[in-house]
Amino acid sequence: MTITDTEFSRLVDVGFAAAHRGEVALARELFEPLLRYKDSAPARIGLALTYLVSGDFARAESILKDEVLAKNPADAEALALLGLNQTLAGHAEEGAALLERVPKESAGGKLVAALSALPTLSR
């Protein structure tokens, strides 16, 4: 079976929606086979998100650092999510330093701006 790039992208979106709704297991069940089908930074970021929201900060960090940022150190969404992950994991200084690296005009930058508005995550 062949999945078009558009279909792949939509399936990644469904995985993100499931993770955001708290359906973490369902999201993982979608991201993992998608990643076996094709390597994809957005799908890896989605998989990392499933670990972040379930409190497995070490696994989320590993995916973001070793599987996404190792290939593209400037990936704004991965940097933003890693910054959030590190902050929630109790590494506020490292999290803030990562968030500083996110370009403000990127999608990741918009996430950083929203995070900065939250009192407990403000830098």
Q: Looking at residue 119, what is its pLDDT? A: 67
Contacts of 85 (CB under 8 A, 6+ apart): 48, 52, 57, 60, 61, 64, 95
Please state which CATH number belongs to domain 5-116: 1.25.40.10
DSSP helix/strand/coil, 96: helix
- Rounded to the nearest angstrom, the gap between the alpha carbon of residue 54 and the centroid of all alpha carbons in its chain is 13
- Residues 16-28 pLDDT 10s: 999 989 999 999 9
CB atoms under 10 Å from CB of 16, counted, come to 19
Q: Looking at residue 123, what is its pLDDT? A: 43
pLDDT at residue 100 tops 60 = yes
CA dist list (Å): 23 to 26, 32, 47, 84: 5, 14, 12, 20
Using an 8 Å Cβ cutoff, are 51 and 63 in contact?
yes
pLDDT at residue 87 tops 80 = yes
Show me where the domains of the chain are located.
5-116
Q: Mean pLDDT across the stretch 73-86? A: 95
State both tokens at 98.
Answer: 């990562």
Q: Looking at residue 116, what is its pLDDT? A: 73
Using an 8 Å Cβ cutoff, are 57 and 89 in contact?
yes
Which residue did the predictor score with more confidence, 46 or 123?
A: 46
- Tell me if the pTM is above 0.85: yes
